[in-house]
C-alpha cells in the first residue's frame, strides 16, 4: 500500500538548538528540541505532528497485543461523578492527587486518575451471567493526577495517556490466567517497542489488592530505584520496601502482637529449637504451623522472633520451610526485617512468587516482630513509609550475588485486584448453579505517553533521538542537500519509496543549509537517513543508519531496493 510522503517544507515543526531551561531529563530536552511535544503548563503537554506519530505507533503496538489476548477496546469518560469513588473509598484515599471539579449545580466530579470503579460499574451493568465472563476490557485514554512534582516532561504528566485494562472472572484461576495473559502481552509490547525492561514485584499502592508486578525500564531519569541481580533474573523495586501494618479488627485470630526481642534467637537457636539443621537454605525461611504459614523472615544479625514464636505456638506443629516452598505458592511473598525496626523495614519481594495474596509479616514496632499474623486476616497495609533503599551489594535473595541498585522508569504495572472493587459495587453474576458469584478482577496499566519518553531516554545519543522502525515517525528521512537538482532527486526517491509503502519524511526546505538539515535529521532520529547530495548528478545517494552512524553510497535504484 502506498504511503504518504511528508514534506518538511509543509510540516509544522520548529527545532531548537538549545535545551529548554527547565528541562532536566534527556527525553524532556530532546522531545522539546526536536519539536515532538510542547509544554502548556506544568505536567500538561501537547503532542505535535512528529510526536503524535510516535505516540500513535506506540498505541498501535499496544492495541495489537491487547486485541491478541482477547481484549475489547472501549472508551470511558475522563470526567467522572464522585459517587463511585466514594463507594470505593478512593475519593478520600487519593487526597491531593485527585483533580476535583464542580459542575454548575455544585455537584462534585473528578478527572479520572484510573478507572477501576467505572469499569466495575460497566460490567455490573453489561454482564449478568457466568456465561458473560471472562471479559478483558481496555482503553487508551487520558488520565489526570495532580502529581506533586510534574517534572521530567511527558515522563510524569498531570494529564497523561494510559492504556488501562481490566479483567473480570468468576474464579481465582480465571484471574490468574488473565494476569498471565497480560504479563505475556506486556512482554511482547515492550519487546516490540524496543524497551529494555525488568519485571519486578511491587506493592499495589492505592489500587488495593494483592499481587502486582511492575515493568521497569532502566534509565537514569527514572524515579524508581530497583535492585537488580547481575547473576540471575531477580529484580525488585525498592519502592516495595516499607509499609505500616494495621490490625484488622475482629478478624477472629487475635490482634497483631508485638514481641520484644532483646534476646532474639539466632537462626541456630531456632533451628535447634525446632530440631532442624541450620543449613544455609534456612536463610530464606517461613514458619508453618499446622500447615499454615504464619511468619516469614530472612534472619540477619538480629533476626527474629521465630524462636519465640515457635515457643508460643507450641504444642502446635511448627516446621521450617525453605525457599523451595515458595515454588508454586503464589500467595506468598518473602521479605525480611532489618535491624532498624519499623521505619527501616527492608523488604525484597521475590518475582518468582508473584502473583500472590499474602504480604510478608512485618515488624510493627521498632526491634520487634509481629507474631502469628497473616496479612489480610490479621492486618492490612495501612500506610506507606519512607522508602528505604536496599544497599548496593546486598545479597540477592534468590542467588546470593551482590545486588546492584539502578534507576528505572515504571512503564507498566499489573495487579491482581481480587474482589475489592467487586465487593464495593456488589458485582455478582449468576453462577452455573443459579446462585450469584462474586466477580474477581485484575487491572493493568501502561503509560503510553511515558513509554514514548522512556524510549527516548534509552535510545538517544548526543546528536538526538533514535527510534526503532516500529515507533519512528517515518521509516526514512530523505535529505535534499543542495540545490534544485538535489531536491528533485530527493522528491523522486521519496515518491518511489512511498509507492512501495515506505513512510518517508523528506527535507525539501529551500534556503536551509545542508548542515542544518543534517542536524535536524539526527535530532529527529528516523532510522534511515537518505541524502541526495554532491553525487546527485551521477545518480548516487548516501544511506546513513541513524543508530550506528554507518554510511554507504549507492546508486538510487539500489538504495530504493534496499529500503523496500
- SS3 for 548? coil
Interface positions with ligand ATP (CB under 6 A): 114, 145, 147, 156-157, 160, 162, 205, 410-413, 445-447, 449-450
Nearer to ligand ATP, 235 or 446 (CB): 446
Task: Write the burial class of residue 510 (CB in 10 Å: 0-12 exposed, 13-18 middle, 19+ buried).
Answer: exposed
**Conformational region of residue 367, where left means phi above 0, alpha means psi within -120 to 50, and beta covers everything else:** left
CB of 455 to Mg ion, least distance (A): 19
Q: What is the distance between the alpha carbons of residues 99 and 145, in angstroms, rounded to a whole number?
A: 6
Exposure of 106 in the CB half-sphere (CA atoms within 13 A): 0
Nearer to Mg ion, 100 or 253 (CB): 100
533 binds, among ligand ATP, Mg ion, none (CB under 5 to 8 A by kind): none
Q: Which is nearer to ligand ATP, 160 or 166 (CB)?
A: 160
Binding string, 373-412, against Mg ion, x = CB under 5 A? -------------------------------------x--
Is the distance from CB of 451 to CB of 410 less than 8 angstroms? no
**CB of residue 82 to ligand ATP, shortest distance in Å:** 20
Closest contact distance (angstroms) between CB of 412 and ligand ATP is 5
Binding segment for Mg ion among 280-288, 413-421, 483-491, 500-508 (CB under 5 A)?
Answer: 413-421
CA distances from 264 to 180, 279, 301, 347 (A): 41, 19, 9, 19
- Cα–Cα distance, 555 to 540 (Å, whole number): 4
Beta bridge partners of 224: 408
C-alpha R_g of the chain? 28
Size of the residue set binding Mg ion (CB under 5 A): 2
Residue 235 near which of ligand ATP, Mg ion, none (CB within 5-8 Å, type-dependent):
none
CB of 218 to ligand ATP, least distance (A): 14
427 binds, among ligand ATP, Mg ion, none (CB under 5 to 8 A by kind): none
Question: Quick one: what does residue 114 bind among ligand ATP, Mg ion, none, with the CB cut-off 5 to 8 Å set by partner type?
Answer: ligand ATP
Q: Please state, in angstroms and rounded to a whole number, the distance separating the CA atoms of residues 209 and 444.
A: 13
Instruction: Give the residue from 364, 340, 350, 442 showing the smallest Cα distance to 397.
Output: 350
DSSP assignment letter at 553: E
State the Cα angle at 268 between 262 and 269, rounded to 5°: 50
28 binds, among ligand ATP, Mg ion, none (CB under 5 to 8 A by kind): none
Of the pair 182, 413, the CB lying nearest ligand ATP is at: 413
Q: Tell which one of 53, 413, 477, 517 touches Mg ion (CB under 5 A).
A: 413
> Cα(30)–Cα(240) distance, rounded to whole angstroms?
31
Residue 167, contacted partner among ligand ATP, Mg ion, none, CB below 5-8 A by kind: none
Please give the residue ranges that form the binding site for Mg ion (CB under 5 A).
410, 413
Amino acid at each position: 500500500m502506498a504511503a504518504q510522503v511528508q514534506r518538511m517544507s509543509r510540516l509544522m515543526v520548529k527545532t531548537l538548538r538549545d535545551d529548554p531551561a527547565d528541562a532536566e531529563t534527556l527525553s524532556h530536552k530532546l522531545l522539546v528540541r526536536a519539536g515532538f511535544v510542547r509544554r502548556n503548563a506544568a505536567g500538561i503537554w501537547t503532542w505535535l505532528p512528529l510526536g503524535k506519530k510516535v505516540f500513535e505507533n506506540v498505541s498501535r503496538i499496544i492495541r495489537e497485543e491487547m486485541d491478541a489476548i482477547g481484549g475489547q477496546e472501549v472508551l470511558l469518560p475522563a470526567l467522572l461523578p464522585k459517587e463511585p469513588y466514594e463507594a470505593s473509598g478512593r475519593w478520600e484515599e487519593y487526597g491531593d492527587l485527585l483533580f476535583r471539579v464542580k459542575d454548575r449545580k455544585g455537584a462534585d466530579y473528578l478527572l479520572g486518575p484510573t478507572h477501576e470503579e467505572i469499569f466495575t460499574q460497566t460490567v455490573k451493568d453489561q454482564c449478568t451471567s457466568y456465561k458473560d465472563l471472562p471479559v478483558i476490557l481496555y482503553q487508551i485514554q487520558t488520565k489526570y493526577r495532580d502529581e506533586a512534582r510534574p517534572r521530567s516532561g511527558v515522563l510524569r504528566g498531570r494529564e497523561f495517556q494510559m492504556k488501562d485494562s481490566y479483567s473480570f472472572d468468576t474464579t481465582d484461576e480465571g484471574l490468574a490466567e488473565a494476569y498471565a495473559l497480560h504479563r505475556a502481552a506486556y512482554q511482547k509490547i515492550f519487546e516490540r517497542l524496543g524497551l529494555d525492561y525488568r519485571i519486578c514485584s511491587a506493592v499495589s499502592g492505592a489500587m488495593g489488592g494483592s499481587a502486582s508486578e511492575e515493568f521497569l525500564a532502566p534509565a537514569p531519569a527514572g524515579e524508581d530505584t530497583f535492585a537488580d541481580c547481575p547473576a540471575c533474573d531477580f529484580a525488585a523495586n525498592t519502592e516495595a520496601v516499607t509499609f505500616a501494618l494495621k490490625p484488622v479488627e475482629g478478624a477472629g485470630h487475635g490482634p497483631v502482637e508485638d514481641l520484644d526481642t532483646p534476646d532474639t534467637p539466632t537462626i541456630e537457636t531456632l533451628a535447634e529449637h525446632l530440631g532442624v539443621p541450620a543449613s544455609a537454605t534456612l536463610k530464606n525461611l517461613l514458619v508453618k504451623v499446622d500447615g499454615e504459614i504464619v511468619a516469614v523472615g530472612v534472619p540477619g544479625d538480629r533476626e527474629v522472633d521465630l524462636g519465640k514464636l515457635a515457643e508460643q505456638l507450641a504444642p502446635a506443629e511448627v516446621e521450617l520451610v525453605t525457599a523451595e516452598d515458595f515454588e508454586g505458592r503464589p500467595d506468598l511473598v518473602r521479605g525480611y526485617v532489618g535491624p532498624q525496626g519499623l521505619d527501616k523495614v527492608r523488604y525484597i519481594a521475590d518475582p518468582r512468587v508473584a502473583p500472590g495474596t499474602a504480604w510478608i509479616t512485618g515488624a510493627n514496632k521498632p526491634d520487634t516482630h509481629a507474631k502469628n499474623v497473616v496479612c489480610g486476616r490479621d492486618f492490612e497495609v495501612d500506610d506507606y513509609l519512607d522508602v528505604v533503599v536496599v544497599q548496593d551489594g546486598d545479597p540477592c535473595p534468590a542467588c546470593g550475588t551482590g545486588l546492584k541498585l539502578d534507576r528505572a522508569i515504571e512503564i507498566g504495572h499489573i495487579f491482581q485486584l481480587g474482589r475489592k472493587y467487586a465487593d464495593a459495587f456488589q458485582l455478582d453474576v449468576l453462577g452455573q448453579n443459579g446462585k450469584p458469584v462474586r466477580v474477581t478482577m485484575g487491572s493493568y496499566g501502561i503509560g503510553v505517553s511515558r513509554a514514548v519518553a522512556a524510549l527516548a531516554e534509552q535510545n538517544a545519543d548526543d546528536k538526538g533521538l533514535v527510534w526503532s522502525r516500529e515507533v519512528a515517525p517515518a521509516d526514512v528521512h530523505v535529505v535534499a542537500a543542495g540545490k534544485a537538482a538535489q531536491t528533485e532527486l530527493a522528491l523522486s526517491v521519496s515518491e518511489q519509496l512511498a509507492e512501495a509503502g515506505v513512510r518517508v519524511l523528506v527535507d525539501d526546505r529551500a534556503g536551509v543549509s545542508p548542515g542544518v538539515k543534517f542536524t535536524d535529521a539526527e535530532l529527529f532520529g528516523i532510522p534511515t537517513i537518505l541524502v541526495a547530495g554532491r553525487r546527485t548528478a551521477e545518480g548516487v545517494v548516501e544511506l546513513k543508519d541513524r543508530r550506528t552512524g554507518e554510511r554507504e553510497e549507492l546508486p538510487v535504484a539500489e538504495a530504493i531496493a534496499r529500503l523496500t
